[in-house]
Amino acid sequence: AEYSFSTSAKVSPILKAEAEYILWKRHKEAEKAYKQAANICKKAERALGQDGRNLKKLADKLTKVNQGKYTRLKKW
């Protein structure tokens, strides 16, 4: 949204320029913080996905070990 000052208000051009500069600076700071938060979120999602895949691999290995153990016991 564009911020504008009312034309009926008597505001010094210097004060108006300073206020616009401060708003722009805060906008840029907020944009930077949002990007940092988005990057952290993406990294966390990737880590969670990687952990999920690793957990599935581990579960598959445990299943194979258990199946092998029971197969060996049946042979005895």
Summarize pLDDT for 24-70 with one digit per residue, the tens: 999 999 998 888 888 888 888 887 777 777 777 777 877 777 776 65
Q: Are 22 and 3 in contact (CB under 8 A)?
A: no
| Two tokens, residue 48 | 């969670």
Question: Largest Cα–Cα distance of the chain, in whole Å?
Answer: 98
Query: For residues 76 and 73, what is the distance between their CA atoms, to the nearest angstrom?
Result: 5
| Local confidence band at 76 (pLDDT 50, 70, 90 cut-offs) | very low
Query: For residues 64 and 76, what is the distance between their CA atoms, to the nearest angstrom?
Result: 19
Distances (CA, A) of 5 to 39, 44, 62: 35, 42, 68
pLDDT score recorded for residue 71: 57
